[in-house]
Amino acid sequence: MAWRLKLVPTKTNIDFFRWQFVTFGASVVAVVASLVLVAVMGLNLGIDFRGGTTIRTESSQPVDVGAYRQALAALNLGDVSITEVKDPTFRADQHVAQVRLGAREGEEAVTPEVIAQVETALKAVDPAISFPAVESVGPKVSQELIWKAFLAVAAGSVGILFYVWMRFEWQFAVGTVAALLHDVIVTVGVFAALQIKFDLAIVAALLTILGYSVNDTVVIFDRLRENLAKYKTMPLREMMNLTANETLSRTIMTATTTFIALLVLFIFGGDVIRGFVFAMLFGVVIGTYSTLYVAKNIVLMLGVDRGDKPKKDTGEFASIEA
Domain ranges of the chain: 20-43+141-302, 52-137
Residue 320: what pLDDT?
36
* Residuewise pLDDT in 10s, the chain (322 residues): 455 555 556 677 777 778 878 888 889 999 999 999 999 988 887 777 776 788 888 888 888 888 888 888 878 777 777 888 777 778 888 888 888 887 666 565 677 788 888 888 888 888 888 888 887 766 566 667 777 777 887 887 788 778 777 777 788 888 888 888 898 899 999 999 988 888 878 888 888 888 787 877 888 888 888 888 887 778 888 888 888 888 888 888 888 888 999 999 888 877 678 888 999 999 899 988 888 888 888 888 887 765 544 444 444 434 434 3
CATH topology of domain 52-137: Alpha-Beta Plaits (3.30.70)
Residue 56: what pLDDT?
86
CATH topology of domain 20-43+141-302: Multidrug efflux transporter AcrB transmembrane fold (1.20.1640)
**Rounded to whole angstroms, what are the CA distances from 261 to 5, 62, 101, 122, 216?**
18, 28, 30, 34, 17
Residue 195: what pLDDT?
85
List CB contacts of 10: < 8 A, sequence separation 6 or more.
249
Dihedral pair phi/psi, residue 151, rounded to 5°: -65, -35
Residue 1: what pLDDT?
45
Residue 137: what pLDDT?
67
Sign of the torsion angle spanned by Cα atoms 50, 101, 200, 33: negative
Residue 32: what pLDDT?
94
Give the ranges where 269-308 is alpha helix by DSSP (H). 271-290, 296-302
**Rounded to whole angstroms, what are the CA distances from 243 to 98, 171, 231?**
49, 16, 11
Give the chain's length: 322
For residue 15, the SS3 value is: coil
- Closest to 223 measured CA to CA, from 161, 285, 172, 286: 172
Alpha-carbon distance of 97 to 83, in angstroms, equals 6
Count the Cβ atoms, other than its own, within 10 Å of residue 140: 10
